A and B are shown apart, each in its own frame.
Chain A
Amino acid sequence: MKEYGVILFFTTSSAIRAEKLLAKEGYTIKLIPTPRQFSSVEANRPVSVAEMRQ
């Protein structure tokens, strides 16, 4: 089974920024729509997430 981490952001701009920074560090990144199970984290629902696999 592949393991991966998920990062949640308030805004797509931040997700894109993270994507660029992490790509520079050699991570494989994929932007995906926010999974439903994470959608109600606190009151602040992120718009998208970056998935990374090393």
Chain B
Amino acid sequence: MIYLDNAATSWPKLPEVLKAMVDALERAGGNPGRSGHRLSIKAARVMYDTREDLARFFNSGDPMRVIFTSSATHSINIVLKGLLKPGDRVIVSSMEHNAVMRPLRGLEERGLIVDVVPCASDGSIDLNDITGAVDSTTRLLVIVHASNVVGTILPVAEVASIAHKAGVLLLVDAAQTAGVLPIDMKAFGIDFLAFTGHKCMQGPPGIGGLIIGDRVDTSQIEPLVQGGTGSQSELEEQPEHLPDKFESGTPNIVGIAGLRAGINWIMDRGIETIRAQEKKFINALIDGLSDMSDIKLYGAHDPERAVAIVSFTAMGKHVSEIGLKLDEDYGILTRVGLHCAPAAHKTIGTFPEGTVRLAPGILTTSDEIKKVLRAIKKVISS
């Protein structure tokens, strides 16, 4: 079996990650922040240490502003639903995932103004278009760091500088980049970073995070979920202090422990090493697919401008047929269709049919990439 669906979730998970998760259940199985006994405190330590690791990993500053969530989608919902009011304007790119577009379309029905800045067909954005879209009613800019459909990287630091000049906050969807592209929240000027643990961070599904930058006044954000935090239990009102304000309910300590092991693995290996290997695979896939006459490739066609996501269609073949044949006849696992991102597919011109998406990961080998290219050649000529 060859797993090329790492953009959906990385697989297999590292032995270090599995071990950390089992250890957390066996040795730190209490409910963090609730009881004062040793198992509860052990769990609280795992959780706090992971906050510190994340704050360091993304250079965000105060670890108390690291909020654990269930996914990047959850993190994005906290910001969009907690911050935006009817009459506010929000600017997004046309490459956004439905994690951003669905909550925004829901809020639009209640008076939010959503302004979509069109991207080019390779997924890139013209910064002048963003500058031109910002006005005095703009409250938030939302941008995907790299497209989950074609991998194209968007210039987050430049967008942040436009946002800051206009007094607008910036939310970055780093679902496809956290763990593989260096992200420095302070240097880039990111106000909200939404990430998931189970993709490039190498953790398990069910854990993600929202990191809130120093510039943000969190009293302006309503919590998405309210409930028990283990703190200020005499009050029936939600506490204001961080991270508790946004972390009601028993946390996913197993997921947090797995995520921490993933971050540690990445730091040991070095993000540059991981990225260099990824670029090699993107290059090999682009080269191999470009040689096949019936194939149309999408995106930037440039490993410097994209993460490890390569999307294609083939003349006269449905993408679902290609995906099924690759799976059944060759044991190659890809993801076909619209990838939860209809806006992005409209931008690159593949809506509603979609594409075949190849997403190598940290454990992919060059030999596997060669086998995949041979298999695709056979499938599209059959």
Interface residues of B in 204-255 (CB under 8 A from A): 229-235, 239, 241, 243-244
Contact partner, A45, options B36, B234, B244, Cβ 8 Å:
B234
* In the complex, chain B residues whose CB is within 8 Å of the CB of A11: 33, 64, 229-231, 239, 241, 243-244
CA distance A19 to B45 in the complex (A): 10
- Name the residue in B32, B241, B243 with the highest tally of chain A Cβ atoms < 10 Å from its Cβ: B241
Residue B330 is within 8 A (CB to CB) of chain A in the complex: no
Residue B51 is within 8 A (CB to CB) of chain A in the complex: yes
Residue B351 is within 8 A (CB to CB) of chain A in the complex: no
Q: Is the CB of A40 within 8 A of B234?
A: yes
CA distance A52 to B229 in the complex (A): 25
* In the complex, chain B residues whose CB is within 8 Å of the CB of A39: 234
Q: Is the CB of A13 within 8 A of B47?
A: yes
* In the complex, chain A residues whose CB is within 8 Å of the CB of B36: 31-34, 48
Main secondary structure of the interface of B (DSSP, over half): loop
Supposing A11-B33, A11-B244, A33-B36 touch, asked if A47 and B231 sit within 8 A by C-beta, the answer is yes
Contact partner, A13, options B33, B234, B235, Cβ 8 Å:
B33
A-B contact count (CB 8 A): 62
* In the complex, chain A residues whose CB is within 8 Å of the CB of B33: 11-13, 47
Residue A10 is within 8 A (CB to CB) of chain B in the complex: yes
Residue A17 is within 8 A (CB to CB) of chain B in the complex: yes
Q: Give, as a whole number of angstroms, the nearest-CB distance from A33 to chain B.
A: 3
Residue B44 is within 8 A (CB to CB) of chain A in the complex: yes
* In the complex, chain A residues whose CB is within 8 Å of the CB of B41: 16, 31, 48
Residue B63 is within 8 A (CB to CB) of chain A in the complex: yes
Q: Top 7 A-B pairs ranked by shortest CB distance? A: A33-B36, A12-B33, A16-B48, A47-B231, A12-B44, A10-B241, A11-B231
A residues near B (Cβ < 8 Å) are: 10-17, 20, 31-34, 39-40, 43-48
A-B contact pairs, 11 of them (CB 8 A): A11-B231, A11-B239, A12-B32, A12-B230, A12-B231, A13-B48, A16-B48, A17-B48, A17-B64, A45-B231, A48-B41
